[in-house]
Amino acid sequence: MKLDRPARRATLVVHVIAAAGWLGLTLGLLALAVTAITTESPAMTEATVRSMKVFADWLILPLALLTLLSGLVLSLGTPWGLARHRWVYTKFWMTLGTTVASVFALRPGVTDAAASVASGAGVLDPTDLVAGPIVSLSAYLFMTVVSVLKPWGLTKRGRKHRAGSRNAVDGRGVRQTA
């Protein structure tokens, strides 16, 4: 499957919007979590943790899946390939890892904290509440830098592919998206 130029450009726009949205969401979650654990006001704690729950319930999974799916389409539909360039392959596994962690650790943690503040017990595990957003924010910042700089060259598979064909994996065309 090879994407033609308009399809590649449209998918790239969707991909960057989804990835930027995911990054912004995590930044928002971090601001809310820090406020929740530092404020003196129980009403503010409840409001911020409840807001985190709304974001976690409605936005995390759709943005994660959209980033992953559009990234897969771009990888498989362009000469970049999924496992030919280290920067793409690294992003793929990191995105998969952070998606799983968001669904099975971050979201349940926020749900527990929301139940706990609703029962009047406050935030029982403040470290847990900020840890999720800190870890994912660091991962997305790293992946954004990697996406722009595209470091580390070809994988073993990419070198084999290039040796086997003159398909110009690193030639003109790859970076001429926009």
In angstroms, what is the minimal distance from the CB of 112 to ligand HEM? Answer: 25
Instruction: Give the burial string for 85-118 (b: 16+ CB within 10 Å, else e).
Output: bbbbbbbbeebeebbebbeeebbebbebbbebbe
In angstroms, what is the minimal distance from the CB of 137 to ligand HEM? Answer: 11
Q: Which is nearer to ligand HEM, 41 or 104 (CB)?
A: 104
Q: By beta-carbon distance, which residue lies closest to ligand HEM?
A: 71
Q: Which is nearer to ligand HEM, 49 or 143 (CB)?
A: 143
In angstroms, what is the minimal distance from the CB of 7 to ligand HEM? Answer: 10
- Return the structure tokens found at 136: 């994912």
In angstroms, what is the minimal distance from the CB of 12 to ligand HEM? Answer: 5
Write out the residues near ligand HEM by the rule CB under 6 A.
8, 12, 15-16, 19, 22, 67-68, 71-72, 74-75, 78, 80, 88, 91-92, 95, 140, 143-144, 147-148, 177
- In whole angstroms, give the CA distance from residue 19 to residue 25: 10
Q: Which is nearer to ligand HEM, 64 or 117 (CB)?
A: 64
DSSP 129-177: HHHHHHHHHHHHHHHHHHHHH--S-B-HHHHHHHHH----TTSTTSS--
In angstroms, what is the minimal distance from the CB of 33 to ligand HEM? Answer: 19
Beta bridge partners of residue 85, listed in sequence order: 154
